[in-house]
């Protein structure tokens, strides 16, 4: 991902400092489930090190990885939009260290600092647009491969 799709570097220093004042350092062991689709999205993370896979359950026994996130990436965006429920699941692909943010506290901070709220909303939207484009490209690549193999 480009620097533009990283959350913290996109924030001006005063807003970054206010947000980081709410950060809590956490870690997840390899293979830990961080959250499940449909669960309450009451927090989010910025990954410091390690890798996290986002997945979608396709059957009761099978999950499909839709994205892999690494250092500097935002993990979780559902906390920003009602009904505040995760759209995907997330699992630590390796040991992970991250900054964790309480969603309600960050939303309150955004109400107090509307510049931060606007910048944060725009940056999350940019991250989502980038991830959607990446996923679209992967789907097109898979479709093209299947289509060619059928010929």
Q: Mind listing the pLDDT tens digit for each residue in 134-146?
A: 877 777 877 776 5
Checking if the pLDDT of 150 tops 60, the result is no
Q: 32 CB contacts (<8 Å, ≥6 apart)? A: 91, 92, 96
**Chain segment 7-31, per-residue pLDDT in tens:** 999 899 999 999 999 999 999 999 9
CATH code of 3-150, in short, is: 2.60.120.10
DSSP character string of 66-135: EEEE-TT-EE--GGGSTT-B-SSEEEESS-EEEEEEEHHHHHHHHHH-HHHHHHHHHHHHHHHHHHHHHH
Checking if the pLDDT of 49 tops 60, the result is yes
Q: What are the domain boundaries of the chain? A: 3-150
pTM of the prediction? 0.86
């Amino acid at each position: 991902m480009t620097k533009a799709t990283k959350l913290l570097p996109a924030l001006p220093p005063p807003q970054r400092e206010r947000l980081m004042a709410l950060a809590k350092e956490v870690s997840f062991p390899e293979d830990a489930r961080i959250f499940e689709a449909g669960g309450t999205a009451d927090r989010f993370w910025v990954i410091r090190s390690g890798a996290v896979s986002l997945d979608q359950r396709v059957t009761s026994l099978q999950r499909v990885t839709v994205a892999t996130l690494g250092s500097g990436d935002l993990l979780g965006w559902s906390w920003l939009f009602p009904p505040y429920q995760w759209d995907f699941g997330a699992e630590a692909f390796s040991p992970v260290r991250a900054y964790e943010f309480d969603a309600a506290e960050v939303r309150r901070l955004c109400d107090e600092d509307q510049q931060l709220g606007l910048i944060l909303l725009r940056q999350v939207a940019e991250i989502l647009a980038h991830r959607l484009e990446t996923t679209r490209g992967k789907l097109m690549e898979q479709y093209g491969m299947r289509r060619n193999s059928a010929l």
